[in-house]
Amino acid sequence: MSISERNELVLEYLWCIDCVIRQNYALVQAARLDRDDVYQSLALRLIRAVELYKPGAKGLKGYIFSQLKYELLSCKSSKV
């Protein structure tokens, strides 16, 4: 996959980041995470997920959501 193809897919699925943050906002607040930091971490994970995706049983959207949720759970507060 070329970089331009990857970038197109990342732009197409960028909405998934907001969706995951919205679904888990209570967790973000409870862990005292900065929303912008979380968004940046998830954006990097989205790029990586698009690059590493191998077509199979799970579609690209499902793979992206599982990767973003995993990344969210591994975010740590910078305010400790």
Q: What is the pLDDT of residues 35-66, one digit of tens each?
A: 999 999 999 999 999 999 988 778 999 999 99
Give dist(CA 29, CA 26) in Å, integer.
5
Nearest Cα neighbor of 49 from 66, 37, 35 is: 66
Asked if residue 33 belongs to a domain, the reply is yes
Task: Say what the pLDDT of residue 80 is.
Answer: 43
Asked if residue 21 belongs to a domain, the reply is no
78: pLDDT confidence band, cut at 50, 70 and 90? low
- Residue 38 structure tokens: 């979380």
Q: For the chain, what is the domain count? A: 1
Asked if residue 36 belongs to a domain, the reply is yes
Q: What is the pTM of this model?
A: 0.87
Asked if residue 16 belongs to a domain, the reply is no
Over range 18-44, report the average pLDDT. Answer: 94
- CA distances to 17, 42, 78 from 45, in Å: 10, 5, 18
Asked if residue 42 belongs to a domain, the reply is yes
Asked if residue 44 belongs to a domain, the reply is yes
Asked if residue 67 belongs to a domain, the reply is yes
Over range 17-24, report the average pLDDT. Answer: 96
